[in-house]
Amino acid sequence: MKKLYFVMALLIVASMVLTACGGTPTAAPTAAPTEPPVVATEAPTAAPTEPPVVELTQADCVKPEVFCVGLVTDVGKVNDKSFNQSAWEGVQQSQTDGVADLVQFIETSDAKDYAKNIATFGDAGFDVIVTVGFGLTEATFAAGAAYPDLKFIGVDQFQAWQFTEDTADDSANVTGLNFPEDNAGFLVGALASMMSASHKIGAVCGTDVVPPVWRFGEGYKAGAAYADGMNGTTTEVFVVYHSDVGFDKTFTDPEWGAQTAKSMMDQGADAIFGCGGLTGNGAITAAAQAGAYAIGVDADQYLTLPEAAPRMLSSAMKLITPGVAELAAMAKDGTIAAGNFTGLAGYAPFHDLDGEVSAEIKAAMEAINAGLLDGSITTGVAPTKPAE
């Protein structure tokens, strides 16, 4: 029996160790405690070469005349072809525009390091810190209180405090860069409706309890209806939101997404919009595999989902790069306001399917986009799902 207990104990200890390790994989192998984990001044992919006027270093950021912008990524790399990269390009643009004198980024490798990475820039005397992704909302808000003299730009971070009665939790220096998801959904909904041969299109989304997801889905419907009105067609739109008891689960269930997309295609749908993290990615991959039109979300997913790229029609995009650059400029001239800032939405290029999209549809898409931008077209989507 002794041997038995030993084996059991060993296995349980091993499994606990592995579970624990799963949480902290990097364990900051190289950096000494005082140094930032990874700081680079240029993107690993070729950045435009700037004329070296004066060689600035991070140490110069404490000087008031040197305007420094730091970017903290969500878990992942800065060249992720998605949110991180778009935000970093925005920061780089602010440098080429002459707004920022020095730009740097820190790549986050674990969600536990959010606060630490933001503090690295805060302590170095940066003027603006950009944090990328919904996941950093709380860390950014907390940092806003810890560094009251700095400006924070939270990409895709909804500032809920702006809508609460209580003013005690208000922030004076955190600006959330949000996007009109309904416009983005509207654009791809119109596109899907015009491209569909069967006049049946589908959308597979995360839970509609999350307002942006709801706006994507309903915007998609509204866009399809608008295109129908324009062309005199009738398009059947299937929109399915994942409703699991577990909230996170609704965004991390690619298998469900794939099955739902397949179910829609079985009923005749020939264009599928996947909105909702990995669940949506599952739907997009399944659609592409079945030869239907696949439509991505947030960023240009042609670049991030190689499996689906050949059938990737477009993506409902949040235009992060210009939003970040604009907010950085506003932070410099002092016009930035804490709270929510609404950026722009758009649609991704057609890439491989460019030849299948007729000139009329391309023109119609440009007209709709222009209409949404100047306000002559409105989606009519409520900001959040109305209570049933």
Partner 1 sequence: MDWKRFGFIALIITVLFGVVVVVGQAKQPPLLIITSMLATTIAVATPLTLGALSGVYCERAGVVNIGIEGMMLTAAFFGWLGGIYMFQIYHMDAMVSIVLGVFFAILTGAIMALLHAVLSITFKVDQIIGGTVINILAVGLTGFLNRQLFFGKGSVFGGSVPASPGVLPTIHVPITELFTSICGSSAACLENVQAVNRVFDQKPIAMGAILLVFLSHYVLFNTRWGLRTRAVGEHPKAADTVGINVAKMRYANVLIGGMFAGLAGAYFTIESVPSFEPLLTNGRGFISLAAMIFGNWTPIGAWAAALVFGASQALLINMQIYRDVIPPQWAFLQQSYIVGLTPYILTMFILTGIIGRTTPPAADGVPYEK
| Interface ranges with partner 1 (CB under 8 A) | 3-4, 7-8, 11-12, 14-22, 25-26, 29, 38, 75-77, 80, 109, 202, 208, 236, 238-241, 243-245, 249, 252-260, 262-264, 266-268, 278, 281-282, 285-286, 289-290, 306-307, 388
Residue nearer to partner 1 on the CB measure, 73 or 140: 73
Supply the minimum distance, in Å, between the C-beta of residue 368 and partner 1. 23
Q: Which residue has the tokens 């950009």?
A: 130
Work out how close the CB of 164 gets to partner 1 at its nearest, in angstroms, rounded to a whole number: 25
Quote the least distance from Cβ 47 to partner 1, whole Å.
19
Q: Closest by alpha carbon to 294, among 255, 253, 262, 251?
A: 262
CA–CA separation, 109 vs 144, rounded Å?
Answer: 22
CB of 154 to partner 1, least distance (A): 23
* Largest pairwise CA distance in the chain: 79
C-beta closer to partner 1: residue 177 or 284:
284
d(CA 64, CA 299): 35
Q: DSSP string spanning 181-196?
A: HHHHHHHHHHHHHHH-
State which residue, 125 or 257, has the beta carbon closest to partner 1.
Answer: 257
Of the pair 264, 357, the CB lying nearest partner 1 is at 264
Nearer to partner 1, 16 or 382 (CB): 16
The answer to whether the CB of 346 falls within 8 A of the CB of 204 is no
Q: Would you tell me how many other CB atoms lie within 10 Å of the CB of residue 188?
A: 33
Coil, helix or strand for 90? helix
Closer CB to partner 1, 16 or 160, in the complex: 16
Q: Are strands 174-178 and 312-319 parallel, antiparallel or unpaired?
A: unpaired
- Contact (Cβ atoms closer than 8 angstroms) between residue 65 and residue 73: no
Select 46 or 54, whichever has its Cβ closest to partner 1.
46
CB of 243 to partner 1, least distance (A): 3
- Name the residue with tokens 């989304």: 205
**HSE value, Cβ hemisphere, 13 Å, CA-based, for 358:** 7
Backbone φ, ψ for residue 387 (5° rounding): -65, 140
Smaller CB separation from partner 1, 310 or 322: 310
26 or 358, CB closer to partner 1?
26
Nearest to 94 by CA among 139, 151, 38, 147: 151
Amino acid of residue 308: A
How many CB atoms neighbour CB 70 within 10 A? 28
